[in-house]
Amino acid sequence: MNAHTTADVVHGPGVLLGDPDALAALLTDYHLSTEAEKGLPVADASRLAARYLAEIQDPRTAFADDTVFLAVDDGVPAGCLVVTAPDAGTAEPSCRIGGP
């Protein structure tokens, strides 16, 4: 990333996700990478666990109650951060970084 990297809220509870295709591409890269890091590489996204596949296929539904930040580097999505809805008074951030 360079000096032109910005981050925008692209989704909040009750607000439609701004660019679900860009987020899906980032999530695909992230999940494939983390599975490989765990020593469980898969050939493609269709072989990911159901919960990961659900995020990729329909991020609007998967993150309906969450806040999603999208990092953009010179106009290209470069990473994202998902802050889950509070559960018992606390919220959990999930850093999802990657790029197509």
CB 96 within 8 A of CB 24: no
pLDDT at 1: 45
Which residue bears the tokens 């990911």? 48
- CA torsion sign, 64 to 99 to 25 to 29? negative
Residues written for the chain: 100
pLDDT at 95: 54
- pTM score of the predicted model: 0.71
Tens-level pLDDT at each residue, the chain (100 residues): 445 555 555 656 656 666 778 888 888 998 999 999 999 999 999 999 999 999 999 888 888 888 888 887 777 778 888 887 667 766 655 655 554 4
Residue whose C-alpha is closest to residue 57's, from 67, 43, 68, 46: 46
pLDDT at 48: 94
